[in-house]
Chain A
Amino acid sequence: MAKVLVVDDAAFMRMAIKNMLENHGFEIVGEAENGAVAVQKYAECRPDLVTMDITMPEMNGLDALKAIMKINPEAVVVMVSAMGQEAMVREAIMSGAKSFIIKPFKEDHVIETLKKVLP
């Protein structure tokens, strides 16, 4: 069972992702509402997978991604983006994000993406 850290500033989004993943046997080991908390939680619970929102207060998803890749270059981070954020997704992939999902997302899309990127 893959352990997942869900990062999003909107509690609603975290709940949506959490519900979807739990339906498919993923284990949510943590949630974070901004990038800074995400980095801290990543170091604490070392999840197999991180879903990372891009637009967040305090520290955005890109900076958090980079910090996490520094902690663990093998980290599996999937960006949660929206249409219009193409440039930022590209930057994220350059920085080590394994893939991305696009809001509003469908359950099967999310699951397919996550299953593909897990080692």
Chain B
Amino acid sequence: MSGQNNEQMLEMYIFETEQNIEQLETLVLSSEKELGFAEDALHELFRLMHTIKGSSGMMSYQSLASVAHHLEDLFYYLREQQPQNVDYTILSDLVLEGIDLMKVELQKIKNGEEADSDTAPLIKSIEDYLQLLKQQNGAESETAVALAQPDSAGGFCARADAVTYKAVVHFAADCAMENVRAYALVHSLQAEANVLQLFPADLDDDDSAEIIRTKGLTVYLQSELEAEQIEEIFWQTPFLNKLELTVVDSLQSEEAAWDAAQLPKQQQNNHTAASNSVISVSVNKLDKLMDLVGEMVIAESMVIQNPDLNGLELENFEKAARQLHKITSELQDLVMSIRMVPLATTFHKMHRLVRDMSRQLQKDVQLQLIGEHTEVDKNIIEHIADPIMHLIRNAIDHGLETAEEREALGKPAAGTITLEAKNTGSDVLILIKDDGRGLNKDKILERAREHGLLTKMTAEMTEKEIFELIFLPGFSTKDNVTEFSGRGVGMDVVAKNLEMVGGAVSVSSVAGQGTVFTLKIPLTLAIMDSMNVKVGASCYTIPIISIKECLRLQQHTLLNDTEGYEMLMVRGECYPIFRLHQYFNVKNAVTDLEKGVLVMVEHDKKSFLLFVDELLGQQEVVVKALPAYIKERYQSKGISGCTLLGDGSISLILDVGGFVQ
């Protein structure tokens, strides 16, 4: 197999196995809720395990294959035997443990590492559990589909002058399922010959495979065909390795006539499956398509707004141009929509988290999902799963009271966490609500003071400002470590994760009633609302989300700090000034602070001023990655990407975070 094929297969393997594992998890969790596994669910669980086992085996990922294999056995038993009195909590714990292990292995595979977790303890517990089930439900009964050995006449009828042959056959060493291969061979012989006797006799018994492997299969048959013709039939069997065919005089044993013509009654299954006309495409290809469409939009405006056309009356051209514009914008919308993925998968993952935590902390928690079909760009989804998980963990761990406390307060014993998504124009809002105790203002202030995070008099601070303190780096402490939250990774990480995708987080809370975290995320990373600014002859693009305000020098006081850096006093606070022309070494730029414009930007709650010549205007731009050679030099030095402007000139997109460093 070629290297490219291998890579493609690995990609497909990971993609599909991930989906299967996700499906498994959903099924297990929903079955657990219904306090039992329905027959359909068992079938589906068995099938999914079977598929994972098969695919993993093909890719030689033994750990995954063996875990799936043992779980498959377990579900096979449950499905076939339908035992009573099954403790489903142990079952779902076991399966979820298996799912977790498979997830770990898959992640390792994704990272190009060896999938080598120790599966023995888990497999042991699965086996033990299966053993227990079997004991509880009596001895294992024969479950194999018992095929009646057909004995009625039919097929070939031996004539009196037929010759009796003895054949001893061996199969290739590693072909496996020798008894079934023998079965197939006998089946094909029956069309031309009368099979009299076999050794081993019972091919339905899977132990016979071992006998055939060591001693071969002996067949006595009767036929009027020549020896060569008989041999020919034998050799049509795949993996036949050795054949000794001899003519014998007679056969002492009784004649066992075989018949294969007896086909089990078949049921014509009429429902045609709704053929799933969906294909999976690599995200890289979509990125590229997006990129090309972006370039086409720009090329279109370069043609339509071409300076050569100035002053010309071109009625037909205008018509054609309008048509072109209509198609390109439709195309752009379509490409954007392809990249959109519903939040459902991310949301559903939280069920597991809530389940595990509510068990561990002995808090009864209900998770309510609203608007999970809201769609967001694929790239963004990857960045928000962790923040959501973190916020839910916090909500259950710190936000919700224990059942006793809740009852004392007259609240329902079970806490409710609501995860809601909704569209608001170019943004998506994700709300994480709990009906717990709410944020404690005094505690927040106290902690902020301890860590020296207060910049204002506490009396002057609004409620909102106090709450927002929890997003400051250094606010979270480790003094409340539980398994789930308080591991020193604080809310600042949530805020940072969201900033990375151009989003923001805010919080509101009512004491005794609960807390709401609101994540505001853009629909897509590929198109950004931005402000174009001019420095000398160059153009730069600043993301609108980073801009707080734009101001002129006149009314403000210019200061120099001890190291000679320029600072500006705005409403009583000092902000450092970055001169973009200095930073990027731009010639012929405005150097007099009074003649240019100062743009106040914010990153990580730190604000500073960028000095530019003039503002060109606000615009939606298509974000493009920097060419590799520029990236090497300027990565994280204040440039995050570039974009093409309507007139065809290139503008660099500023990465505000880069200046902070």
Contact = CB atoms under 8 A, between A and B. Distances in A.
B276 A33 contact: yes
Interface string B136-150: 000000001111000
A99 B46 CA distance: 24
Contact of B236 (A11, A67, A116): A116
Given A11-B12, A86-B177, A36 B273 contact: yes
A19 B264 contact: no
B210 to A, nearest CB: 13
Contact of A88 (B57, B73, B145, B271): B145
Given A12-B16, A34-B273, A90-B147, A104 B9 contact: no
B366 interface: no
Nearest to B51: A10
B13 interface: yes
Nearest to B60: A104
B269 A59 contact: yes
Contact of A99 (B184, B267, B269): B184
Given A37-B273, A86-B177, A93-B180, A70 B266 contact: yes
Contacts of B73: 84
B183 A93 contact: yes
B1 A20 contact: yes
Given A83-B176, A87-B204, A104-B60, A66 B238 contact: no
A70 B263 CA distance: 11
A104 B69 CA distance: 12
Interface string B518-542: 0000000000000000000000000
B402 interface: no
What is the size category of the interface that chain A forms with chain B? 35 or more
Given A20-B1, A103-B58, A9 B47 contact: yes
A72 interface: no
B12 A15 contact: yes
Nearest to B266: A66
- DSSP majority for the A interface? helix
A56 interface: yes
A13 interface: yes
Interface in A53-94: 55-59, 63, 66-67, 69-70, 81-84, 86-91, 93-94
B269 A67 contact: yes
Contact of A95 (B1, B12, B17, B264): B264
Contacts of A96: 263
Interface in B40-77: 44, 46-47, 50-51, 53-55, 57-58, 60, 65, 73
B237 interface: yes
Contacts of A16: 9, 58
Contacts of B50: 55, 82
B409 to A, nearest CB: 48
Contacts of B47: 9, 55-57
Q: Which of B57, B175, B269 gathers the greatest number of chain A CB atoms within 10 Å?
A: B269
B644 interface: no
B8 A15 contact: yes
Q: Which of A19, A36, A86, A89 gathers the greatest number of chain B CB atoms within 10 Å?
A: A86
Nearest to B12: A12
Given A56-B47, A100-B184, A19 B5 contact: yes
A86 B180 contact: yes
Contact of A58 (B145, B184, B206, B271): B271
A33 B278 CA distance: 12
B10 to A, nearest CB: 9
Interface string B342-369: 0000000000000000000000000000
Nearest to B272: A36
A35 B51 CA distance: 15
B51 A55 contact: yes
Contacts of B239: 109, 112-113
Nearest to B186: A93
Given A15-B8, A82-B53, A94-B187, A89 B177 contact: yes
Contacts of B60: 104
Interface string B68-91: 000001000000000000000000
A26 to B, nearest CB: 14
B511 to A, nearest CB: 51
Interface string A95-113: 1100110111101010011
Interface in A8-36: 9-13, 15-16, 19-20, 23, 33-36
Contact of B176 (A94, A102, A117): A102
A58 to B, nearest CB: 4
Contacts of B260: 94
Q: Which of B8, B184, B203 gathers the greatest number of chain A CB atoms within 10 Å?
A: B184
A10 B55 contact: yes
B13 A12 contact: yes
A93 B238 contact: no
Contacts of A59: 269, 271, 273
B145 A105 contact: no
B462 interface: no
B268 interface: yes
Contacts of A33: 273, 276
A87 B147 contact: yes
A58 B58 contact: no
Contact of A87 (B54, B145, B271): B145
A91 B146 CA distance: 9
B179 interface: yes
A23 B175 CA distance: 21
Contacts of B271: 36, 58-59
B58 A105 contact: yes
Nearest to B270: A36
Contacts of B146: 87
Given A37-B275, A70-B266, A86-B177, 20 more contacts: A10-B51, A10-B54, A12-B16, A12-B58, A13-B55, A15-B8, A15-B9, A20-B1, A40-B272, A55-B50, A58-B273, A63-B267, A87-B147, A88-B145, A90-B147, A90-B183, A94-B263, A100-B177, A104-B60, A112-B238
6 contacts: A10-B55, A11-B16, A37-B272, A96-B263, A103-B57, A104-B57
In the A-B complex, list the 6 residue pairs whose CB atoms are closest, starting with the nearest: A104-B57, A66-B266, A113-B238, A87-B144, A36-B273, A87-B145
Interface of A: 9-13, 15-16, 19-20, 23, 33-37, 40, 55-59, 63, 66-67, 69-70, 81-84, 86-91, 93-96, 99-100, 102-105, 107, 109, 112-113, 116-117
